[in-house]
Structures are given as C-alpha cells and as structure tokens.
Amino acid sequence: MAKKSIDLEKKQETQNSIEAPAIEETAVNETTHVETVVSAKDSTLDQTVSAVSTDSAIFDRKGIDVDIEKEHKKQKALTITKTVLVYLFLTLCAVFAFLPFYWMIISSVKTEMEYRQSTPTFFPHTFQFKNYQVVLNQSSGSGGVSFWQILLNTLVVGVFSTIIGVIVTIITAYAFARMNFKGKNILFSLMMATMMIPGEMYTITNYLTVSGWNWKNSFTVLILPFLVSVYYIYLLRNNFMQIPNSLYKAAKVDGLSDMGYLVKVMVPLTAPTLISITLLKFIGTWNSYIWPRLVNTTNWQMITNWVTGGFVDRGGVLYGGFYTSSEPLVTLKMAAVCLVSLPLFLLFIFCRKYIMHGVSKSGTKG
C-alpha cells in the first residue's frame, strides 16, 4: 500500500509539472496578444496624428487660412443673390404677362383722339369713363342687340349647360370608377382617345346634325352638343378612385344604395374637384365664340359675339359728331372687352384656390 501511494504521488507531480508550462505559455500568449492590439492602436493613432500634422504643415506652407464665419457669409450672400435674381425674373414675366391687360384697361378710358396718336401713351391724359356708359346703352352694330339681351342669353346657356354638364360628368365618372361591367376599360380607352381629335373637326358634323333637326336659333343648340367633356370625366374619375373601398362596404352594410353613396359620400369628398369643374365649365361657356356665331342669328348669340360688333358714337354723345355715326371706335371696343372680361377676372381671383387644388389633386392617386 505504501508503494502504491508513492507511485500516485509521483504521477501527480509529473502531471503538475506538465500543466504548469502550458498555463504559463497561455498567459504569455494572452499578454502578447494584448500588447499587439495596444501597439496596433497606438500605431493607428500615431498615423492619424502624423496625417493631421502633415495637413497642418501643408496649410501652413500654402498660407491658407480657413475662416468659417467668412465662408458662412459667402454662402448667405450667394443665396440672397440667387433669390433676388429669381424674383426679378418672375417679376419681369408677370409684367410682360399683365401688359396686354393694362393696355386694354387704359385704352378703354382714353379719348379716341389720344388713342389714335402716333406716339402711344402708357397713361391717359384725360379719363373718359363715359365710354362704358355709351357701350352699355347702345346696341351692337351687327344686329341691334343690346348688351343686356346678350348677357341674359349667356347666363341662361351658362347656368343650364354647367348644371346639366356637371351632373352628367358625376354619373359617368362614378360608373367608370366604381361600377364593374363588361367592356368598361375598352369603352374608357375609346373615350380617352377622342381627346386626341381636335374639336374643330366636330363642327361641320354637329352643324349638319342640328340643321337637320331644326335646332338653329335656340338655346338647345348651345347647350346639348357640349354637355359631355371627356377631360372633366377623367379628372373626376381619378378623384373617385382615391376614395377607399372600405367606405363603400360600410355604406352597403348601413343599407345605403349606390346613388345614396354617390350623393352623400363621394360628392362631398370630391367637392374641390367638382367646384373647379363647375367653374371651368362656366368659363368655357362664357368664352364660346365660333359655335354660337355659326348656328344662331344675332338675337341668340353669346357675349363674345357681341364684343365683335361695331361700337360707334351715335348721336355725337362723346365727341359731338366729330366721328361719323358708322365709324367703329377702338376705345369703345376696349371698354366692351373690359366689361366682358371683368366677371371672369373676379371669378378667378376669388375661386383660384379651388381650381388649382381640384386639378392638382385629381392627378394623384393613393
């Protein structure tokens, strides 16, 4: 037993002597690794410091002095200069755009003698506001129709064509946006393709049609042929498609019909686009010129046709017979144009945000 215990002690001593160098070697390796990492970091730091020192030396040799505040002032001055140039350019564009309207307005309050001077004046020497009174009180030279009769014709056609046209546009746009039926996409594509055809190409065909139906010299011929507008249907359809289907499903759960959903949900949500369509439709009717002149006589024509008539100084109201009673006066024509353009200017000024918002919103989806 004593011999066995001696042998076990010898084996344990031998094992300890073998493990001790291994532990020492591992400790040495870890120490070496740490020292290597530290030396690598020191080397990187030294390189960075050296690079910074080199750059500083280069700047010092070249005599470059970087002033942050000075650079900031340069950038600010450059920004101000760009802004001034942009606004100057836009101001010049606005002046050139407004110049024809300014010339129309000042010409309407000039005397005819001043207007016919060889050297034009950009500000009236004498204001002749009586031109407007003469224009309102005399009838058009082309057929003896007064301004008030032509204005009534235009308002009747404008109101009825706008109301009926907007209703047709809403129903058609709703059908293409929400209803599913065979050939819907093909029919919509064909309808959009008609936008590629100039409107003047329909004039002869429409004229022959209304002549055969004896619609000439009536309000019907001014209203019915232009109730449908593909462009307005396209704008409103895009707006309808932006409304989520969840609203339609919720309305159906509540027992709302398709027409009720259209009137109570879709129309209020697309009010800006509908307002812009209504305004543009009325403006288009107000400015119509070729078609009323082609299909109707003077008594049934529109306000733009009345402007083209001759305006003369009948009875010497303005100049005591200096100009003949059959000689058209340009200043009176300018006054007539101002009267016709004034409602459209006011309409655009007070409703421009609805027009711009409705048209811009209808071009997006999502």
Q: What is the pLDDT of residues 197-250, one digit of tens each?
A: 887 788 888 888 888 888 888 898 999 888 888 999 998 998 888 888 888 888
Q: Kindly tell me if the per-residue pLDDT of 107 is higher than 80.
A: yes
Burial category of 169 from C-beta neighbours within 10 Å (exposed 0-12, middle 13-18, buried 19 and up): buried
For 170, list phi and psi in degrees, rounded to 5: -65, -45
User: At residue 73, does pLDDT exceed 50?
Assistant: yes
CB 337 within 8 A of CB 140: no
CB-facing half-sphere around the CA of 3: CA atoms within 13 A: 0
Q: Which of 42-56, 233-247, 263-277 has the lowest mean pLDDT?
A: 42-56
Q: Is 89 exposed, middle or buried (0-12, 13-18, 19+ CB in 10 A)?
A: exposed
In this prediction, what percent of the chain has a pLDDT beyond 90? Answer: 19
Spatial CA neighbour of 261 closest among 331, 137, 190, 178: 178
Span of 59-63, 66-70, 195-199, 332-336 with lowest mean pLDDT: 59-63
Q: What is the pLDDT of residue 253?
A: 85
What would the two tokens of residue 248 be?
């339609």
Token representation of residue 162? 């706008």
- Is residue 65 pLDDT above 70, yes or no? no
Left, alpha or beta for 121 (phi > 0: left; psi -120 to 50: alpha)?
Answer: beta
Q: Is residue 334 within 8 Å of residue 107, measured between CB atoms?
A: yes
Mean pLDDT of 124-139: 86
> What pLDDT is recorded for position 140?
59
Q: What is the reported pLDDT for 20?
A: 46
Q: Is 308 helix (H, G, I), strand (E, B) or coil?
A: coil
Q: How far is CA 238 from the centre of its chain?
A: 15
CB 101 within 8 A of CB 302: no
Tokens of 172: 């058609």
**Pair 358, 273: CB distance under 8 Å:** yes
Q: How many CB atoms lie within 10 A of CB 248?
A: 16
